[in-house]
């Protein structure tokens, strides 16, 4: 998994994010199929090269040729969740829409479900957001960083009338992010772009030591005299000795659940997107034996994992907090063995492989097929990996 860095010297928008992801290698044909799964019509997608100050950037476009209905948050959420997307992509897209709904609700003194999405309810903005969620997953980006954002100046027209730049919802979304007020001749960050940042990104600590793997440029629509209107996306790894990321840890103390259910619960949580699930014996008040359930998951999947816990266990309350991780860089390679191909996870630092972990499922299936001891299959996969990396 990699880190993405949004170098937003000209701000950002949903289509610029989508363009930069495609320029980094996300497959446009696959994105067309993802968009079609949402069940909307009356549009076509396009991708073209656009020269901006000598930079060949990708211009992502959604051409709408039929009148579209006004869509509300609840409808958009149902649309995304029923589209058959990968759970992580679906949850990430919903998290972006939810961030925008909460911001709009605060600005207009209403509730998220009652928010009338004017701009974001449009088909182009829906596709931009789903494209961002899908593209980051497609490219294996597990952490997203963003540079300080230029917020522009002046005024803009909206369906509510003339509003200041940055628009109120955009300003609300970017609370806590470094911004540069007055930088730029017009609106530089759209609500869609701000929602993507709010839901998925964290501010980069500059200067940032970064090992670049891929670079993509997403072109905007406007022309600026003082800067190229492109979003630069760098994909690679930050370097602080170890790779880092942030997850959510969800926990609950459970003292009245049938122990036979825990195996089922574990499977359901992993299906919901959990990174890790653990059960720890504890003693609660009045000497009652209990189990401490601990789940690690990505922030975008918090609600999905919590829903699974509430449905599958007897707990009536959960605790959660953000946890930071230091981790070794890792990749998965496939090696040949006499039992067939086996995937091996290689973890290390500074180019040195420190651990070689054969994938259990591959080894288990190979051992059963060959009627061989599992430990023998795993040992041979490790040896083959060492030879491959030598």
Indicate whether 96 and 120 sit together in one domain. Answer: yes
Within a domain: 1: no
Mean pLDDT of 103-110: 83
Last residue of a domain, one of 170, 203, 231: 231
The domain boundary residue, chosen from 280, 309, 324: 324
pLDDT number for residue 242: 67
φ, ψ at 264 (rounded to 5°)? -60, -45
Structural domain count, the chain? 3
Q: What count of residues does the chain have?
A: 390
Reported as a single tens digit per residue, the pLDDT across 219-235 is 999 999 999 999 999 99
At residue 353 the predicted structure's pLDDT band, cuts being 50, 70 and 90, is: confident
| CA 130 to chain centroid | 11
Report yes or no on 236 lying in a domain: no
Name the token pair of 270. Answer: 């992993």
Is 3 a member of any domain? no
Residue 267 lies in a domain: yes
The answer on 278 and 144 residing in a single domain is no
Kindly state whether residue 237 falls inside one of the protein's structural domains.
Answer: no
CATH number of 372's domain: 3.10.20.300
Mean pLDDT along residues 197-219? 91
pLDDT tens readout for residues 285-343: 999 999 999 999 988 889 999 999 999 999 999 999 999 888 887 788 999 999 999 99
The pLDDT of residue 326 is 82
Residue 316, in any domain of the structure: yes
Q: In CATH, what number is assigned to the domain containing residue 278?
A: 3.30.70.1380
Other C-beta atoms closer than 10 Å to the C-beta of 264 total 11
pLDDT of residue 354: 87
Residues 209 and 74 in one domain: yes
Mean pLDDT confidence for 239-246: 68
Average pLDDT of every residue of the chain: 91
Contact 199, 178 (CB under 8 A): no
Whether 121 has a pLDDT exceeding 90, the answer reads no
Average pLDDT of the residues in 63-87:
90
Write down the pLDDT at residue 107. Answer: 83
190 plus 126 within the same structural domain: yes
Answer yes or no: do 302 and 341 share one domain.
Answer: no
For residue 118, pLDDT beyond 60: no
199, 250: one domain: no
Same domain, 341 and 320: no
221 with 72, same domain: the answer is yes
The pLDDT assigned to 206 comes to 79
272 and 351 together in one domain: no
Domain containing residue 267:
244-324
Least confident window among 96-100, 307-311, 386-390: 386-390
Residues 320 and 334 in one domain: no
Residues 320 and 357 reside in one and the same domain: no
> Which pLDDT band holds residue 112 (cuts at 50, 70, 90)?
confident
Question: What's the distance, CA 35 to chain centroid?
Answer: 17
The residue with tokens 């993802």 is 34
**pLDDT tens digits along 144-194:** 999 999 999 988 887 777 889 899 999 999 998 999 999 999 999 999 999
Specify if 2 maps to a domain.
Answer: no
Q: What is the pLDDT of residues 311-321, one digit of tens each?
A: 999 999 999 99
Q: Residue 119: pLDDT above 60?
A: no
Residues 13 and 179: their CA atoms lie apart, in Å, by 15
Q: Where are the beta strands (DSSP E) in the chain?
A: 2-7, 43-52, 55-64, 141-146, 149-150, 155-158, 161-164, 179-180, 201-203, 210-219, 230-238, 243-254, 276-283, 289-297, 319-327, 329-337, 340-349, 352-358
Residue that is last in its domain, among 298, 324, 350: 324
Whether residues 113 and 221 share a domain: the answer is: yes
- Is residue 305 within 8 A of residue 269, CB to CB? The reply is yes
69 is a domain residue: yes
């Amino acid at each position: 998994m990699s880190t993405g860095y949004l170098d937003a010297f000209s701000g950002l928008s949903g289509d610029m994010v989508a363009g930069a992801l495609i320029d980094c290698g996300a497959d446009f044909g696959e994105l067309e199929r993802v968009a079609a799964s949402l069940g909307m019509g009356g549009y076509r997608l396009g991708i073209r090269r656009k020269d901006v100050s000598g930079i060949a950037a990708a211009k992502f476009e959604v051409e709408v040729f039929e009148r579209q209905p006004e869509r509300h948050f609840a409808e958009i959420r149902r649309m995304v969740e029923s589209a058959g997307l990968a759970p992580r992509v679906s949850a990430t897209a919903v998290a972006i829409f939810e961030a925008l709904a909460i911001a709009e609700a605060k600005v207009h003194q209403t509730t998220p479900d009652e928010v009338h999405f004017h701009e974001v309810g449009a088909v182009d903005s829906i596709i931009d957001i789903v494209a961002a969620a899908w593209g980051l997953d497609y490219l294996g980006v597990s952490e997203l960083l963003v540079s300080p954002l230029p917020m522009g100046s002046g005024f803009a027209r909206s369906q509510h009338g003339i509003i200041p730049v940055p628009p109120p919802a955009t300003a609300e979304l970017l609370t806590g992010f470094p911004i540069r007020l007055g930088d730029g001749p017009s609106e530089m960050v759209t609500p869609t772009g701000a929602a993507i940042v709010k839901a998925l990104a964290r501010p980069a600590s500059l200067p940032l030591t970064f090992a670049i793997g891929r670079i993509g440029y997403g072109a905007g629509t406007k022309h600026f005299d003082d800067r190229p209107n492109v979003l630069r996306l760098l994909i690679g790894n930050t370097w602080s000795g170890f790779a880092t990321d942030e997850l959510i840890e969800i926990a609950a103390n459970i003292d009245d659940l049938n122990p036979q259910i825990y195996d089922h619960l574990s499977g359901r949580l992993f299906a919901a997107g959990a990174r890790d699930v653990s059960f720890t014996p504890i003693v609660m008040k009045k000497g009652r034996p209990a189990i401490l359930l601990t789940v690690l998951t990505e922030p975008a999947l918090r609600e999905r994992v919590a829903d699974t816990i509430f449905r599958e266990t007897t707990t009536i309350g959960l605790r959660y907090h953000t946890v930071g991780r230091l981790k070794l860089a890792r990749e998965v390679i496939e090696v040949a063995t006499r039992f067939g191909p086996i995937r091996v996870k290689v973890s290390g630092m500074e180019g040195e492989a420190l651990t070689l972990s054969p994938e259990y499922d591959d080894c288990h299936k190979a051992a059963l097929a060959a009627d061989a001891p599992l430990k023998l299959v795993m040992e041979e996969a490790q040896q083959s990996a060492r030879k491959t990396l030598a």
